[in-house]
Amino acid sequence: MTDPTAGNEALLEQQAARESSARTYPRHLPHAIREASGVTVTDMDGEEYYDCLAGAGTLALGHNHPRVVEAMERVLAEDRPLHTLDITTPVKERFVDTLFDSLPDEFADSARVQFCSPAGTDAVEAALKLVKTATGNRSVLGFQGGYHGMTNGALSLMGDTDPKEDVPGLMPDVHHLPYPYEYRCPFGVGGDECHELAARYVERTLDDPESGITEPAGMVVELVQGEGGAIPAPDDWTREIRRMTRERDIPLVVDEIQTGLGRTGELYAFEHADIVPDAVTLSKAIGGSLPLSVVVYDESLDVWEPGAHAGTFRGNQLAMAAGIATIEHVLEHDLDDHAARMGERLRGHLDATERAHDAVGDVRGRGLMLGVELVDPAGEPDACGRYPAHPDLADAVREACFDRGLIVELGGRHGSVVRFLPPLVVSPSDVDAIGSIFADAVEAAIEDVDADGRREVAA
């Protein structure tokens, strides 16, 4: 039997003995969580941490927000159903009302919603079925560096090749286009010219009868790439992508699973560029910390048959109640604006660290979705003058942050980007503490890597 008073080491040993080798976070964040509140978690040994992972962005209001807890308790106290498949309830209808209230009127006024299985990756699967059914086409356009989930279709859209190496038979007819990653421009030029070339490349490809791509069923894009390394798409590029997909009747699916509900400083990332997509995939924050995912789309696409997409746990009433509380709180307290302000404050700290160390190559992102790319200044610069990625240093920084009471994770090419996804309720004093810890951790990690001689720099 598990001892509820056991310390970190005992519980981690038990986890390692019983869980799959596919587990991830405990390998790099070696603790067991005893309790959590707001932006902090406390482990079984009593150590407290600032949580800048926050359920990979799920915890918009932080851990155990009183409004979310009260909403869930009310459902339980009133004997409401907890599981209804897709049979409706007052809670479900209010959730849809609240969700649509958070979306721009131009999109919401003609929208339909499909409830999916709990994880966001299933919303991506539903969106793929939706656009293929609506258009009768099979090719799907994605982007290099993209991340959309781990199920078959979503994994096929992923830019990272490692998780796909051992999985034969992924979804065919997926084509990855260059993403405007300014720091490591796919065209080797950087600056505004990078996203101008990226847009021009996409349009030329769409119009080229020898491109090798059959008529597309849809295009799927993150407007801030998350796992890809907190890479924001320039607004001009986004507007061009919307123009060219609309002119060619290609449904544009914006993946807002991590960016949605205020994370980037707007309620939805597509609002930065003032566009209206054809479909939006949502999960994470909209469930108020509980599993919930949906795809919201224009009614013109709603031609699929009953049962075309289903899922046993799409009727998660507790998640809908928690989601209502979360969305309402975000709207009432303008947490998108707060995220923009706190993101700028945190970025100020990160920029200062970049100025102090050549090994900090780039600081980027939007709102409270930020990334710091670590590089090896002893390496050979590329065509844009960028030093090689430094995964060893990134590992050391993550470890040093953890040792100092800060939880961060890595992403991006070669896992060399330290990512920040704190709850949207993070305070100015929290931000200052996070920035200070990170600065100390970077300095210590650089010394550690130099001392150990670990310079296994990615090619």
Find where tokens 């390496």 sit: 379
Task: Based on the fold, state whether residues 400 and 445 are members of the same structural domain.
Answer: yes
Residues 170 and 195 in one domain: yes
Last residue of a domain, one of 273, 307, 332: 332
Is position 1 within any domain? no
CATH number at residue 259: 3.40.640.10
Model's pTM, two decimal places?
0.96
Boundary-marking domain end, from 332, 364, 393: 332
Residues 393 and 319 in one domain: no
Classify residue 443: in a domain, yes or no.
yes
Output the DSSP codes for 179-236.
P--STT-TTS--HHHHHHHHHHHHHHHHH-TTSS-PSEEEEEE-SEETTTTSEEPPHH
Per-residue tokens: 154: 């979503």
Residue 126 is assigned to a structural domain of this protein: yes
Q: Based on the domain organization, do 85 and 55 belong to the same domain?
A: no
Query: Does 400 share its domain with 271?
Result: no
Q: Is residue 90 part of a domain?
A: yes
Final residue belonging to a domain, choices 289, 311, 332:
332
The CATH code of the domain that includes 401 is: 3.90.1150.10
252, 254, 240, 233: which is closest to 180 by C-alpha? Answer: 233
Q: Do 35 and 76 fall into the same domain?
A: no
Quote the pLDDT of residue 453: 56
The residues, ordered by sequence, that sit 6+ positions from 373 with a Cβ below 8 Å of its Cβ are 183, 229, 360, 361, 362, 363, 364, 389, 412, 416, 417
The confidence score (pLDDT) of residue 458 equals 34
Spatial distance between the Cα atoms of 413 and 227, rounded to a whole number of angstroms: 9
Q: Tell me, yes or no, whether 261 and 278 share the same domain.
A: yes
Indicate if 376 and 253 belong to the same structural domain: no
Q: Do 357 and 442 share a structural domain?
A: yes
Query: Which token pair is 265?
Result: 């400083």
Instruction: Report yes or no on 256 lying in a domain.
Output: yes
Rg (alpha carbons) of the chain, rounded to whole number: 22
Low-confidence ranges of the chain (pLDDT < 70): 452-459
Structural domain total, the chain: 2
Neighbours of 50 (CB within 10 A): 25
The boundaries of the domain holding residue 377 are: 8-64+335-452
Residue 458 lies in a domain: no
Statement to judge: residues 57 and 72 lie in one domain: no
DSSP string, 111-126: EEEEE--SSHHHHHHH
Q: Which tokens belong to 296?
A: 């919201």
Predicted confidence at residue 5, as pLDDT, reads 83
Q: Are residues 319 and 438 in the same domain?
A: no
**CA–CA separation, 387 and 5 (whole Å):** 47
The chain-wide mean pLDDT, for the chain, equals: 95
| Angle 438-439-441 from CA coordinates, rounded to 5° | 60
Query: Same structural domain for residues 57 and 77?
Result: no
Residue 459 lies in a domain: no
Residue 2 lies in a domain: no
pLDDT at 452: 65
